[in-house]
Amino acid sequence: MSVGAITPASLETRIKAQAFGLGFDLVGICALGPADTADAFDDWLSRGYAGAMAYLPRGRDKRRDSRLPVPGAISAIVVAMNYGGREPSGPVARYARGDDYHDVMLERLKTLHGWLDNEVGEPVAGKPYVDTGPLLERDLARRAGLGWFGKNTNLINPTLGSFFFLGVLLVGIDLAADAPFEADRCGSCTRCLEACPTDALVDPRVLDATRCISYLTIELKDAIPPALRRPIGDLIYGCDICQDVCPWNERFARPRPDPSPYATRAALGGKDARTLARELLAMSDAEFRELFARSPMKRAKLRGLKRNAAVVLGNVGTNEDISVLEAALADREPLVREHADWALRQLRDR
C-alpha cells in the first residue's frame, strides 16, 4: 500500500455510521440462530407470567430461532434509540409521552435497509422489527454487544442506562458479528425488586407481567384485579419505577435530544395525575383520536385509559373528584363504570 493510501471502511463500519446518522444511539451486529434465552422464555410462559398476551406463545417457535422469521436472513443489525431518562417522572411512562416509537424506528430502519441495498448494489433480503415481531430482541441485543439483562429484566447499557428502545433489521448477508456482552454488572444490587409496588419482579430477571403496572394499565383489557388497584398509585399509563431506581440510570441516563419525536405532546405536558385523570374521564372518542394521534397510548384505547384514570382518582383523588367519578358511572363502557364505582367507594371511605 502506498504512503497515504486509505483503507476502505468495512461494510459493518459503514452500516454503523449510517445508523448513527439516522439518529440511533447504539448499534451492534450479531449472527442469527437459536436464542440463548429460549428455554427461559418457555419456562416464563409455562408459569403464566404472560397473562393475556396471547401473541407471545403464538410465535414461540420463531422466537426460539431468529433465522425463522425471515427466510434467508443470517445477520441482525440491532439498534437502540434513547427516549430520555432525565425528564421528571409522572402519570405516563416517559416512553409514551411523544410519538409512537414503532412508527419512528420502523421508518428509520427501512431507510437503513434501503441504504444497504444501494451500498451492496442489489436488493438485500431482510425485514425490520420494532417490538412487534416474533423475536427475542433483548437476546439479539446482548449478542450484538449492546448490554446485559438487568435484574429488572430491561437491557442495560453501561453508557446509556436503559431508557431506550430496541429495533432489529434482519438481513440476508453475512456480516461480521460484534462481541456479545458477557458481563453482569448488577452485582448485589436489588433496588428494582424492592421498589416495585406490586412485587411483579418475583426473582432477579423474572417478571410476572400479570402483576406489572405496565401490563395492568396497557396490555390488560379487562378489569384490573382489586388487590392491585391501590399499588398502582397515580400511574395512568405504564411505569418507570424499576428503571428510576437503577443506579445505572441514575448515573448514565441521558436527556432526550431536542428536537425529538418523543417530546411530550401538549395533551400531557406538565399535567399531574389528578388533572390528566379528570380530563381522560371526560374525553370523547373524537377528542381522544385528535389529541393522541400517532401516540403509543392508543394501544390501551380510551376505555382502558378511563379505567386507569378512575383507579388513579380512587387512589389520589379528593372530594373535588367525586362529581367526575359520578359522571363516569354513566359511561357507556361497563369497564369504566365498574372502576369509577370502586374509586368512589375509596374516596367515601376516606
25: left (phi over 0), alpha (psi -120 to 50) or beta: alpha
Residues with catalytic roles: 131
Three-state DSSP at 217 gives helix
Give me the phi and psi of 129, to 5 degrees please. Answer: -135, 140
* pLDDT class of 280 with cuts at 50, 70, 90: very high
State the CATH class of domain 265-350: mainly alpha
| Other Cβ atoms within 10 Å of 255 Cβ, number | 12
Q: How far is CA 153 from CA 123, 150, 198, 228, in A?
A: 36, 5, 15, 21
| Contact (CB, 8 A) for 296 and 92 | no
Q: Which strands make up the sheet holding 126-129, listed edge to edge?
A: 26-31, 75-82, 164-171, 126-129
pLDDT at 1 exceeding the cut of 70: no
Strands 155-156 and 75-82: unpaired
| Contact (CB, 8 A) for 280 and 306 | yes
* pLDDT class of 59 with cuts at 50, 70, 90: confident
Strands 75-82 and 164-171: antiparallel
| Contact (CB, 8 A) for 146 and 48 | no
In this prediction the pTM is 0.95
Angle between helices 273-281 and 301-316 (to 10 degrees): 130
pLDDT of residue 202: 98
Taking the domains of the chain in order of start, what are their residue ranges? 11-171, 265-350
pLDDT of residue 8: 76
**pLDDT tens digits, 73-119:** 999 999 999 999 999 999 999 999 999 999 999 999 999 999 999 99
- Cβ burial of 78 (10 Å; 0-12, 13-18, 19+) is buried
* pLDDT class of 6 with cuts at 50, 70, 90: low
For range 20-39, the mean pLDDT: 98
d(CA 332, CA 304): 13
Residues whose CB is less than 8 angstroms from the CB of residue 142 and which lie 6 or more positions away in sequence, other chains included: 36, 148, 149, 155, 180, 181
DSSP state of 81: E
Residues whose CB is less than 8 angstroms from the CB of residue 316 and which lie 6 or more positions away in sequence, other chains included: 233, 234, 273, 274
